[in-house]
Amino acid sequence: MTRTLPGVTGVLALADGTILQGLGCGAEGSALGEVVFNTAMTGYQEILTDPSYMSQILAFTFPHVGNVGVNAEDVEQMGESAATSARGAIFRDVPTTPANWRAGQSFDDWMKSRNVVGLAGVDTRALTARIRESGAPHAVIAHAADGQFDLDALVAQARAWQGLVGLDLAKDASTLQAFDWDQGLWDWPEGYPRVQAADKSVVVIDYGVKKNILRALASTGAKITVVPATTSAEDILARKPDGVVLSNGPGDPAATGEYAVPEIKKLVASGTPLMGICLGHQMLALAMGAKTVKMDQGHHGANHPVKDLTTGKVEIVSMNHGFTVDRDSLPDAVTETHVSLFDGTNCGIALKDRPVFSVQHHPEASPGPTDSLYLFGRFADLMKAGA
Ligand SMILES: NC(=O)CC[C@H](N)C(=O)O
């Protein structure tokens, strides 16, 4: 039954019946997903446009989000995808009128234009503590300016959702057509340069790729071609790439089984240098015979410590994943190369007899620190060695 909640224009209805009440912002309407918290203090434009957040609702632990508004350069150039990303966002404070020389639009208007349903004025610390204790809940976020909500229907919708386990979203986040990419990493004062490709060529399989991965690869000097998630290994190898990259992406890696993992096996067998990032890391592990599992709360932030076991160095990294590679299931052919210093989960693997490696974290940052950018150099070195 629809009823009016006085002074309330936004709610979060959890599958267990809990209702958080606050003020709606951004788009009106409702969105269904899994609620995760992100601890990054900056980079809300990049976070809310990361395709890997499809079917998720983001709760920002940093209380003041949106204060510097939105700028076209970051949206057009660093916005990671227009169509597919988080549909809902939760904030402690109501986003204010922007005060920044780069702001071209208010955060609220931008959320409206991207159809992101926002909820502000809720106790995000309590929500975060709850997720830490009992895992990421299924929920519906709703914004209605007239304050009318059918709470029972929202809870029922959250309860009926199957959740992310078994859900394949990579195909939906992928490009449908192959395209070339020649934009490099942002640099002051030039901005985004066009990169003159040298002699190496890389095929990126797009499972929901972040643009900054493409930029980081282009900045190694390679010619970049992006292909759809369902492209066969034969079609990829016919392009005679010097290297292949398996991108990040949304959803359950194990649900991509039929169209992705068997093709990745063939790519590994071909001896072509290969690099996987996040979902690509998980799918490479599956292709090698390892298992992936759902985490309770996942890793979503921009200051996670990860150790590179091959050098002993610790890097502070950007993270966004809710599934993880079960390190105990790694076969003998695989070495563990990186580990999370937060909880000891696997963050990287390399094959012992092939020029193939992958990482769970995000060397392309966007947002976050660039400590792990060296991994693109490691990949370029593998391609050089294979020449
Ligand atoms: N950023 C990613 O590629 C995320 C991978 C996967 N969807 C996960 O949640 O673990």
**CATH at residue 196:** 3.40.50.880
Any atom of ligand 1 within 6 Å of the Cβ of 251: yes
Q: Tell me which amino acid residue 154 is.
A: L
Q: Left (φ > 0), alpha (ψ -120 to 50) or beta: where does 98 sit? A: beta
pLDDT at 241 > cutoff 90: yes
Q: Are 271 and 239 in contact (CB under 8 A)?
A: no
Q: Are residues 227 and 371 located together in one domain of the fold?
A: yes
295 domain residue, yes or no: yes
Among 65-79, 109-123, 346-360, which is the least confidently predicted range?
65-79
- Return the percentage of the chain with pLDDT > 70, whole number: 97
Give the pLDDT score at 79: 55
Give the pLDDT score at 5: 84
pLDDT at 141 > cutoff 80: yes
Any atom of ligand 1 within 6 Å of the Cβ of 354: no
pLDDT at 18 > cutoff 80: yes
Last residue of a domain, one of 131, 160, 189: 160
Q: Are residues 148 and 37 located together in one domain of the fold?
A: yes
| Nearest partner of 161 among 143, 135, 139, 193, judged by Cα | 139
pLDDT at 81 > cutoff 60: no
Q: Are residues 91 and 218 located together in one domain of the fold?
A: no
Q: How far is the CA of 249 from the centre of ligand 1 (A)?
A: 5
Give the pLDDT score at 76: 62
Instruction: Please give the Cα distance from 360 to 362 (Å, whole number).
Output: 7
Beta bridge partners of 5: none
Q: Are residues 140 and 176 located together in one domain of the fold?
A: no
Burial of 235 (0-12, 13-18, 19+ CB in 10 A): middle
Instruction: Please give the Cα distance from 253 to 169 (Å, whole number).
Output: 9
Which ligand 1 atom is nearest residue 50's CA? 1
Last residue of a domain, one of 126, 160, 194: 160
Give the pLDDT score at 83: 55
CA 132 vs CA 19, 36, 64, 188, 322: distances in Å = 18, 10, 21, 39, 13
Last residue of a domain, one of 134, 160, 186: 160
Give the pLDDT score at 1: 83
Which ligand 1 atom is nearest residue 324's CA? 10
**pLDDT band for position 198 (cuts 50, 70, 90):** confident
Instruction: Please give the Cα distance from 268 to 254 (Å, whole number).
Output: 18
Here the CATH number for the domain that contains residue 117 is 3.50.30.20
Q: Are residues 178 and 96 located together in one domain of the fold?
A: no
Among 147-156, 165-174, 189-198, which is the least confidently predicted range?
189-198
Is 138 one of the annotated active-site residues of the chain? Answer: no
Query: What pLDDT, in 10s, does the model give residues 171-183?
Result: 999 999 999 999 9
- The overall average pLDDT reported for the chain is 94
Average confidence (pLDDT) over 103-131? 95
Token pair 């169209």 in the structure block, residue: 259
pLDDT at 370 > cutoff 90: yes
153 domain residue, yes or no: yes
Structure tokens belonging to residue 2: 């629809």
pLDDT at 164 > cutoff 60: yes
Average confidence (pLDDT) over 47-67? 95
Instruction: Please give the Cα distance from 265 to 286 (Å, whole number).
Output: 9
pLDDT at 57 > cutoff 70: yes
What is the pTM for the complete model shown? Answer: 0.96
Q: Are residues 100 and 79 located together in one domain of the fold?
A: yes
Q: Are residues 273 and 345 located together in one domain of the fold?
A: yes
Token pair 């979503």 in the structure block, residue: 300
- Per the structure, the complete domain to which residue 25 belongs is given by 3-160
Average confidence (pLDDT) over 290-316? 97
Measured CA angle at 284 (ends 248, 377), to 5 deg: 65
Question: Residues, the chain, total?
Answer: 387
Average confidence (pLDDT) over 84-92? 92
Any atom of ligand 1 within 6 Å of the Cβ of 248: yes
Q: Are residues 26 and 52 located together in one domain of the fold?
A: yes
Q: Are 318 and 362 in contact (CB under 8 A)?
A: yes
241 domain residue, yes or no: yes
| Nearest partner of 347 among 296, 288, 287, 277, judged by Cα | 277
Among 80-84, 117-121, 165-169, 265-269, which is the least confidently predicted range?
80-84
108 domain residue, yes or no: yes
Instruction: Please give the Cα distance from 16 to 6 (Å, whole number).
Output: 23
Q: Are residues 179 and 275 located together in one domain of the fold?
A: yes
Total domains, the chain: 2
Any atom of ligand 1 within 6 Å of the Cβ of 320: yes
Q: Give the ipTM.
A: 0.97
Give the pLDDT score at 386: 80
Is the pLDDT higher at 284 or at 96?
284
Q: Are 18 and 214 in contact (CB under 8 A)?
A: no
Q: Are residues 136 and 241 located together in one domain of the fold?
A: no
**pLDDT band for position 78 (cuts 50, 70, 90):** low
- Which residue among 34, 46, 278, 321 is the active-site one? 278
Q: Would you list which residues are annotated within the binding site for L-glutamine?
A: 52, 249, 251, 279, 282, 320, 322-323
156 domain residue, yes or no: yes
254 domain residue, yes or no: yes
Q: Are residues 71 and 203 located together in one domain of the fold?
A: no
293 domain residue, yes or no: yes
Is 364 one of the annotated active-site residues of the chain? Answer: yes
Average confidence (pLDDT) over 91-118? 93
Q: Are residues 149 and 201 located together in one domain of the fold?
A: no
165 domain residue, yes or no: no
pLDDT at 61 > cutoff 70: yes
